[in-house]
């Protein structure tokens, strides 16, 4: 595009996004630079418009409208979201700023509802999955949302005059019934001076409370009704509730179609009624890479059975992680997975105090204390804690080195060692050599049902990126690296190349992947011998799987080379 573009170097900083989010969250907590205050039934949440627009379709549209409608004086805004329960709103904000949703299971419905209204699709999907519900089409999904939006758009009031006028007016929870949104900007000087107090205690309570009361609608009602109730805390300022009413009525006039909405007033009857607001924003697709989510969710029929009449009947087996969007297979496995994000380690060793995310890991750990090594080597006195250690060990006795580098043909007893070898690129100079022939390469007699799902290169690739570059373990579990400190040095040529490739491939899309490594793949096919994909679906060590994997790596190398050339 631009001259000298080939001189450009892209240096990925995988930690950047996390850091950025973290700093934004700090700012939110301290009220720094907050230009938007969300309120829900009196609770106030200072936040940033840009963040909300980034995470929520609702706000994106809202602010888009605002900006379109005028230069947006940028000013301080208050957005009343009484239709989202305070705890749910708080959880959604936490999600927006931390990529982690922390909610008591009892609050799931409120969060779901909130996520739906705000257009936070991935959260909505996750909640639905967890609740075992499907998106009810109702024909009002995106349409409803659109209507909501346009209505909201109309409601956007730009100056405080409006706000003042309407402020006292109301109470009507009838209005509320309709689902309120209102934005009035540049409301007073809510000096962020006492921002911290603005931060709702909800988040704390959320974490500390086990799983309790989603704010009962009655309470909410009361809160609203009582208007100024004597709540001493500045957090609750029901006054502002009134603000929206004028706008809301207006909205009702102009947006009759929306009159149905999801009555937060009676939310607790939901079992039956909630399905009404089970719709999402599917076709608008949108937030945070949700296009892929949408498809992935759609693909796993088990979870989202064709809308056809069935509700709640489907198995919960595959569930989508609201944080990383990963599909977690297996009943009851999602909580386990979620702990990898939250860092929660509920299982503590009574002997040494070390904590684990999983019970079974603790159990294995306990073997250290008991001295139990249940996996003895039949050929030598060695005993092992893990079965796979024994497996590795046995390969030493057998001398088998089933894993061969396709480039330099060095053989390894362990697959991960081969991978490490490959990643080290220590054999690139030999890549033109013809591969050694013979099926012995990947003979794994384990007859294992394969577990590798990443039979497609892009998935494998992104998965690799996921683990090695973008979500380093150090970030998640405080592993060996410093948690806070992002690496200050460059990741190195190899990693850089890989990142380039990943970025490029991510943009290229799946279909473009096929071409590149074809020749190389052919060689692998030959080598792979008889085994066809069908025989060992996803089999880890099947030639097909290996081929796919090599394909990934060839892709990476291509990326490397290109990156190198650019330099």
Residues numbered 363 to 382 that lie near DNA (CB under 7 A) are: 363-365, 368, 382
Token pair of 538 as six digits: 């996803």
How far apart CA 123 and CA 324 sit, in angstroms, is 11
Which stretch of DSSP H or E encloses residue 206? helix 202-208
Q: Which of 48, 149, 314, 527 binds DNA (CB under 7 A)?
A: 314
- Calculate the CA dihedral of residues 480, 482, 487, 493 and round it to 10 degrees: 0
Buried b (16+ CB within 10 A) or exposed e, 182-217: bbbbbbeebebeebeebbbebbeebeeeeeeebbeb
- Binding region for DNA (CB under 7 A) out of 56-64, 224-232, 292-300, 461-469: 461-469
Binding residue for DNA (CB under 7 A) from 64, 424, 439, 485?
424
Query: Closest CB to DNA among 450 and 529?
Result: 450
Residues contacting 74, CB < 8 A, separation 6+ = 35
**207 or 391: CB nearest DNA:** 391
Q: How far is the CB of 321 from DNA (least distance, A)?
A: 7
Exactly one of 316, 325, 456, 503 binds DNA (CB under 7 A); that residue is 316
Task: Report if residue 384 touches DNA, rule: CB under 7 A.
Answer: yes
Q: Nearest distance from residue 377's CB to DNA, in Å?
A: 9
Q: What is the largest CA-CA distance in the chain?
A: 87
Tokens of 407: 């480039």
CB of 535 to DNA, least distance (A): 15
Kindly tell me the burial class for residue 415, based on how many C-beta atoms sit within 10 Å of its own C-beta (0-12, 13-18, 19 or more). middle
Residue 416 near DNA by CB under 7 A: yes
CB-nearer residue toward DNA: 186 or 419: 419
Q: How far is the CB of 361 from DNA (least distance, A)?
A: 5
Which of 98, 100, 132, 456: binder of DNA (CB under 7 A)?
132
- Among positions 252, 413, 494, 506, the unique one binding DNA when judged by CB under 7 A: 413
**Residue from 29, 154, 393, 431 binding DNA (CB under 7 A):** 393
Question: Reading across the β-sheet that carries 36-40, which strands appear in turn?
Answer: 43-47, 36-40, 77-80, 182-185
Binder of DNA out of 16, 168, 379, 391 (CB under 7 A): 391
Among residues 266, 467, 514, 564, which is the contact residue for DNA, using CB under 7 A? 467
Calpha distance 474→464 (Å, rounded): 15
The single residue among 33, 222, 307, 331 that binds DNA, judged by CB under 7 A, is: 331
Which is closer to DNA, CB of 132 or CB of 523? 132
Residue 385 interacts with DNA (CB under 7 A): yes or no: yes
Binding of DNA at residue 499 (CB under 7 A)? no
Q: Is 412 in the site for DNA (CB under 7 A)?
A: yes
Q: In the numeric block, which tokens belong to residue 226? A: 């009582």
User: Is residue 468 involved in binding DNA (CB under 7 A)?
Assistant: yes
Binds DNA by CB under 7 A, chosen from 10, 332, 438, 492: 332
Q: Does 537 bind DNA (CB under 7 A)?
A: no
Neighbours of 117 (CB within 10 A): 27
CB of 58 to DNA, least distance (A): 29
Number of residues near DNA (by CB under 7 A): 71
User: In whole angstroms, how close is the CB of 408 to DNA at the nearest point?
Assistant: 8
**Segment interacting with DNA, rule: CB under 7 A, options 207-215, 241-249, 282-290, 313-321:** 313-321
Measured CA to CA, the distance from residue 443 to residue 403 in angstroms comes to 9
DSSP-derived secondary structure letter, 519: H
Alpha carbon distances (Å) from 442 to 29, 142, 404, 411, 553: 54, 50, 8, 11, 17
Q: Are 233 and 160 in contact (CB under 8 A)?
A: no
Binding range to DNA, per CB under 7 A, among 65-73, 116-124, 255-263, 460-468: 460-468
128 binds DNA (CB under 7 A): no
Question: 203 or 342, CB closer to DNA?
Answer: 342
What is the distance between the alpha carbons of residues 325 and 334, in angstroms, rounded to a whole number?
11
Kindly tell me which of 193 and 430 has the beta carbon lying closer to DNA.
430
Which positions ≥6 away from 368 have C-beta within 8 Å?
385
Residue among 23, 174, 253, 446 that touches DNA (CB under 7 A): 446
Does the footprint of DNA cover residue 177 (CB under 7 A)? no
Binder among 65, 92, 293, 327 for DNA (CB under 7 A): 327
Residue of 186, 221, 392, 456 that binds DNA (CB under 7 A): 392
DSSP 353-418: --EES-HHHHHHHHHHHHT---EE-SSSS-EESSHHHHHHHHHHHHT---EE-TTT--EESSHHHH
Identify the residue among 188, 196, 222, 449 touching DNA (CB under 7 A).
Answer: 449
DSSP 33-76: T--EEEEETTEEEEE-HHHHHHH-HHHHHHHHHHHHHS------
């Amino acid at each position: 595009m631009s001259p000298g573009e080939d001189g450009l170097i892209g240096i990925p900083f995988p930690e950047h996004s996390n850091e950025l989010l973290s700093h934004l969250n700090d700012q939110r907590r301290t009220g720094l630079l907050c230009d938007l205050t969300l309120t829900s039934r009196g609770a106030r949440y200072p936040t940033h418009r840009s963040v909300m627009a980034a995470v929520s379709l609702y706000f994106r549209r809202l602010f888009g409208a605002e900006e379109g409608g005028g230069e947006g004086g940028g000013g301080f805004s208050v957005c009343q979201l009484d239709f989202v329960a305070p705890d749910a709103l708080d959880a959604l904000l936490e999600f927006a700023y931390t990529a982690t949703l922390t909610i008591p299971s009892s609050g799931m419905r409120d969060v779901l509802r909130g996520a739906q209204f705000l257009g936070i699709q991935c959260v909505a999907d996750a909640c639905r999955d967890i609740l075992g519900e499907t998106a009810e089409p109702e024909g009002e999904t995106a349409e409803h949302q659109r209507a909501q939006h346009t209505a909201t758009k109309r409601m956007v009031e730009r100056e405080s005059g409006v706000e003042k006028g309407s402020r006292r007016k109301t109470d009507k929870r009838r209005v509320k019934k309709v689902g309120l949104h209102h934005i009035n900007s540049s409301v007073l000087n809510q000096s962020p001076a006492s921002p911290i107090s603005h931060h709702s205690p909800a988040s704390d309570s959320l974490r500390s409370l086990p799983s309790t009361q989603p704010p009962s609608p009655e309470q909410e009602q009361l809160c609203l009704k009582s208007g100024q109730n004597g709540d001493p805390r500045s957090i609750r300022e029901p006054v502002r509730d009134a603000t929206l009413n004028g706008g809301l009525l207006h909205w009702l006039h102009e947006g009759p179609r929306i009159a149905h909405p999801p009555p937060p007033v009676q939310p607790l009857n939901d079992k039956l009624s909630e399905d009404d607001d089970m719709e999402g924003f599917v076709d608008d697709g949108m937030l945070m890479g949700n296009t892929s989510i949408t498809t992935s969710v759609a693909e796993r029929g088990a979870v989202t059975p064709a809308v056809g009449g069935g509700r709640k009947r489907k198995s919960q087996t595959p569930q989508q992680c609201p944080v990383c969007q990963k599909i977690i297979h297996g009943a009851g496995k999602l909580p386990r997975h979620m702990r990898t994000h939250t860092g929660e380690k509920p299982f503590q060793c009574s002997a040494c105090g070390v904590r684990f995310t999983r019970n079974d890991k603790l159990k294995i750990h306990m073997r250290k204390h008991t001295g139990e090594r249940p996996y003895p080597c039949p050929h030598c006195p060695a005993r092992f804690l893990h079965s796979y250690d024994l497996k590795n060990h046995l390969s030493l006795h057998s001398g088998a080195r089933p894993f061969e580098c396709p480039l330099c043909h060095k053989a390894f007893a362990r697959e991960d060692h081969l991978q490490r070898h490959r990643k080290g690129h220590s054999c690139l100079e030999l890549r033109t050599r013809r591969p050694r022939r013979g099926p012995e390469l990947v003979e794994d007699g384990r007859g294992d049902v394969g577990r590798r799902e990443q039979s497609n290169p892009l998935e494998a690739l992104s998965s690799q990126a996921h683990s090695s570059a973008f979500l380093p373990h150090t970030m998640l579990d405080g592993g060996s690296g410093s948690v806070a400190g992002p690496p200050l040095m460059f990741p190195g040529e190899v990693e850089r190349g890989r990142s380039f490739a990943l970025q490029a491939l991510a943009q290229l899309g799946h279909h473009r992947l096929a071409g590149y490594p074809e020749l190389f793949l052919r060689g692998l096919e030959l080598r792979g011998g008889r085994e066809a994909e069908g025989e060992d679906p996803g089999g880890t060590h099947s030639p097909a799987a290996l081929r796919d994997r090599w394909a990934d790596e060839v892709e990476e190398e291509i990326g490397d080379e290109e990156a190198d050339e650019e330099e």
